[in-house]
């Protein structure tokens, strides 16, 4: 008897099905169905490279079992924007040079989006705490913090204009 089951994951607005064993993590499942933008880092919840939004909350996909996300809206960094229309967080990171090698950036961008959603005017402490689960070996984080603040300002300006 196999412990595998077919589950449907709603990723970036699209339903995707896969057959996975009960112990398969969301990270593994997402990568198996082609979402290579979700990075595999430490696989123990220390680095944040694998962060995705699950119903708007940033989670480490390496610590989340895939079947627990069935029925939830999962957003990867690819679901935020694309090359023709970057999300303000992605644009701020690009404009501010907030990425070095780029490996950790998908997880950091996801965490930044969650911070801004929770705190539209994030303080430096909000940003530091919100990004405390994301490790980057290439930067001193200053440009990352600046990019989050810039993105928050752009998003606030867009909301006030509506």
Concatenated DSSP letters of 130-158 = HTTT---SS--SHHHHHHHHHHHHHHHHH
Range of the domain at 93: 88-160
Residue 142 shares a structural domain with residue 123: yes
User: How far apart are alpha carbons 90 and 73 in whole angstroms?
Assistant: 20
Flag whether 83 is in a domain. no
User: How far apart are alpha carbons 162 and 159 in whole angstroms?
Assistant: 5
Q: What is the number of domains present in the chain?
A: 2
Cβ atoms of 146 and 98 within 8 Å: the answer is yes
Flag whether 64 is in a domain. yes
* pLDDT score recorded for residue 86: 95
**Tokens encoding 34:** 């082609």
Last residue of a domain, one of 54, 77, 100: 77
Alpha helices by DSSP H, listed for 41-141, are: 88-96, 105-118, 124-130
- Looking up tokens 């970057």, which residue turns up? 86
Residue 140 shares a structural domain with residue 100: yes
* pLDDT score recorded for residue 162: 35
Residue 148 shares a structural domain with residue 96: yes
Cβ atoms of 59 and 40 within 8 Å: the answer is no
Last residue of a domain, one of 52, 77, 102: 77
DSSP state of 85: B
* pLDDT score recorded for residue 100: 85
Cβ atoms of 27 and 45 within 8 Å: the answer is no
Residue 103 shares a structural domain with residue 152: yes
Alpha-carbon torsion angle 70, 83, 107, 105, nearest 10: 170
Series of mean pLDDT values for 10-residue runs along the chain (162 residues)? 88 96 97 97 96 98 98 97 93 93 94 98 97 90 95 88 38
pTM exceeds cut of 0.75: yes
């Amino acid at each position: 008897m196999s412990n595998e089951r077919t589950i449907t994951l709603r990723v970036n607005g699209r339903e995707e099905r896969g057959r996975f064993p009960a112990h398969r993590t969301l990270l593994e499942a997402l990568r198996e169905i082609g979402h290579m933008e979700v990075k595999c880092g430490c696989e123990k919840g220390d680095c944040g490279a694998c962060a995705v939004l699950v119903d708007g909350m940033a989670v480490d996909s390496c610590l989340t079992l895939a079947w627990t996300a069935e029925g939830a809206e999962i957003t990867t960094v690819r679901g935020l924007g694309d090359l023709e229309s970057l999300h303000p967080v992605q644009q701020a990171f690009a404009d501010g040079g907030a990425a070095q090698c780029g490996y950790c950036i998908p997880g950091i961008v996801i965490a930044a989006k969650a911070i801004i959603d929770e705190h539209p005017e994030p303080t430096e402490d909000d940003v530091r705490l919100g990004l405390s689960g994301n490790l980057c070996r290439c930067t001193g984080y200053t440009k990352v913090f600046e990019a989050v603040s810039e993105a928050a300002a752009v998003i606030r300006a867009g909301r006030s204009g509506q």
